[in-house]
Amino acid sequence: MRLTGRLAAAPDDFIREEFLEPQFRHEVVNLLHWYVLIEKALLCEYRRLGVLSPRHVGRLGEALDGLTPEEVTAGAGAALSDIALAMETRVAEALPEPVPAWHVDRSRNDLQACAQLLYGREQVSEIAAMLGQLAEVTHERAAHDTTSPMPGYTHLQSAQIITPGFYLSAVAEHALRASSRLLATYDRINFSPLGAGPMAGQELAWDRDSLARAIGCAGPAPHALAAVASRDWLLDVSADIASAGVGFSRFLTDLMAWSSSAYGLVELPDELAGISAAMPQKKNYPLLERLRGRTGHLTAFYVDFATGQRNTPYSNMVEVSKEAGVHASTMFTAIRSVLAGFTLVVDKLRWRTDRMRAACEEDHFGGFSLANELTLRAQVPWRTAQVIAGRYVTAVLAEGDGRAGRSDPEALGSAAREAGFPLEDPGSYLTNSVDVDAQLRAKVSSGSTNPASVVELLAGQRVRLDELTAEWDARRGAVREAIAATDAALRLAAGGA
C-alpha cells in the first residue's frame, strides 16, 4: 500500500534512526493499546454515520484485536516508522478485501494527541496509586510513635521538641496533597481531542461526546485547534510531579542529616546502606543521595517540556507533539522510582529514641515556653520575656557543662532582676521548659506535636486517604468500564443492530 503521492523517497537513514525509530519503539510499548481503543471507538462512529457496513466493522475490529507489537514493528519500515501508518498497513493486509472508507475524514493529528493524552492519564493514575501506598506506609509508621521526644530544627538550629509521629504525619500530608493535586489535574485534562482533525475540525458529523465516552474521557476538548496544538496536559502533570519532588527532596535532606554521625537520630538497615572502600568505620546511605538527586530531575523535566513548547506556533507541530515531550516516559519512570524508594525508606526507618531524648535533654528547647510563662504568670512584656529567656540560656551555656537543657533557677532569677522583673520562685518557671515530655504536652493547638493532637491529625488523614483512594478507584473504574462498553458497542455494530 502506497502511503504518499507527494514524496518519492523513504526517510533518510539519519531521520529514521535518530527520530522516527526511537519514537516508534516508545509508542509501540506505551501507546499501542490506546491507539487500538481509539480505532475501535472510531469504528463505532463510522457505523453510526453509515460510512461502514456491519461486515466491514466486524472485520476491522477483528484485525485490530489481532494486532501485536511484533506485527506492528515488523511493518515499521514500510510505514515510514509511524505507528498510525503501521497499524493501518497491517490491518489492511489482514482484510480479505479493501475497505475504502476506513480512515475517511481522519487525521493523525487528533489521533496522536489523543493517544498521548490517554498514555499520560494512565501514568498519572499509576503515580497516584504509588502516592497512596506511600501515604499508607507513612501513616502506619506515624501512628506507632507519637510520644518519643526528638529535636526539631529551624534554620538548622535546635528549635522545639517534636516526635517521629508528628514528623511522619507531615510526610503523609505531603503525599496526600500531591495526590489531591494530581486528581484535580486528571479531571482537568481528561477531555478527548478526537474530532479535531488536523486543526479545524472534521467534515463528517462525528458525535464527539460519544467518542469521548468511548475512551473514558469526561467529554470532548471544546476547541479543535487547542485539541491538537496544546500539550498543556504534560505541563500540568509535570508541574505537579516537580512540586511533589521538591517536598520529597526536603524530607530526604532531613533524613540524610539525621542519619549522619553528627546527629545519629535515625538509621536504616544494612541492606539499604553502603560502605566506604577506604574507611571501614563508615556506614553510608547512598540510597538517600540517589533519591534526593533523582528529585532534581523532576524539576528539570518540567523546564524541558516548557522550553520545548515555548515560542512555537500554536498549531500541530512535531516539535511540540513529539520532541518537546520526548522525556515524558523518563519523567514517569523517575517519579515512580522516587516514590518506591522513599516508601521503602519510610517503611524501614529506625528511630534511635535514646539518642533523640538525649539530644532534647542536652539542649535547651524550652525558651518559647519559658517566655510564655514569664508573660502569662509574671506579666513580663513579651519582648522583655524573650530577652530574659535568652539571657538565661546564655548563662547556662557559659557554665560550660555542655547541658543547655538543665534547670538553673539562680541564672533565671538573675536574668529577670537585670531586666527589672524580680521573680519570687524562679524555679517554678522552669518546670515545663526543661521537661522534654512536658514540652510535647504544652502544645495544645490543633495540628501540633502534642500526642493527642497527632492522633487526631492522623485520624483526619485516614479519612482523606480513604476518600482519595475511592476517588482514584472511581476514575480507574470509569476507564475500565469505557473500554468494556466500547468492545461491546463494536460487537453490536458488527452485528448490524
Cβ atoms < 10 Å from Cβ of 469? 16
As given in the structure block, the three cell numbers for residue 449 are 506535636
Q: Is residue 52 part of a domain?
A: yes
Q: Is residue 327 part of a domain?
A: yes
Do 344 and 392 lie in a common domain?
no
Would you state the pLDDT for residue 497? 45
Strand partners, 219: 191
Count of domains for the chain: 3
Do 129 and 277 lie in a common domain?
yes
pLDDT digits (tens, 9 = 90+) for 327-361: 999 999 999 999 999 999 999 999 999 999 999 99
As given in the structure block, the three cell numbers for residue 148 are 518519643
Do 339 and 378 lie in a common domain?
no
Would you state the pLDDT for residue 77? 83
Would you state the pLDDT for residue 8? 78
Would you state the pLDDT for residue 387? 96
Q: Is residue 114 part of a domain?
A: yes
Segment 129-145 mean pLDDT: 98
Q: What percent of the chain has pLDDT over 90?
A: 85
**Whole-number Å distance between alpha carbons of 428 and 407:** 10
Q: Is residue 161 part of a domain?
A: no
Instruction: Using DSSP, state whether 249 is helix, strand or coil.
Output: helix
Q: Is residue 136 part of a domain?
A: yes
Q: With bands split at pLDDT 50, 70 and 90, how would you rate the model's confidence at 3?
A: low
pLDDT of residue 456 exceeding 60, the answer is yes
**How many Å is the Cα radius of gyration of the chain?**
31
pLDDT digits (tens, 9 = 90+) for 251-298: 999 999 999 999 999 999 999 888 778 887 778 889 999 999 999 999
pLDDT of residue 202 exceeding 80, the answer is yes
Residues 6+ apart with CB under 8 A from 365: 151, 152, 158, 159, 160, 161, 405, 436, 439
Do 94 and 173 lie in a common domain?
no
Q: Is residue 246 part of a domain?
A: yes
Per-residue buried b or exposed e for 119-128, using 16+ beta carbons within 10 Å of the residue's own CB: bbbbbbbebb
pLDDT of residue 212 exceeding 80, the answer is yes
Q: Is residue 178 part of a domain?
A: yes
> What domain range includes position 99?
13-108+486-494
Do 248 and 393 lie in a common domain?
no
Q: Is residue 329 part of a domain?
A: yes
pLDDT of residue 450 exceeding 70, the answer is yes
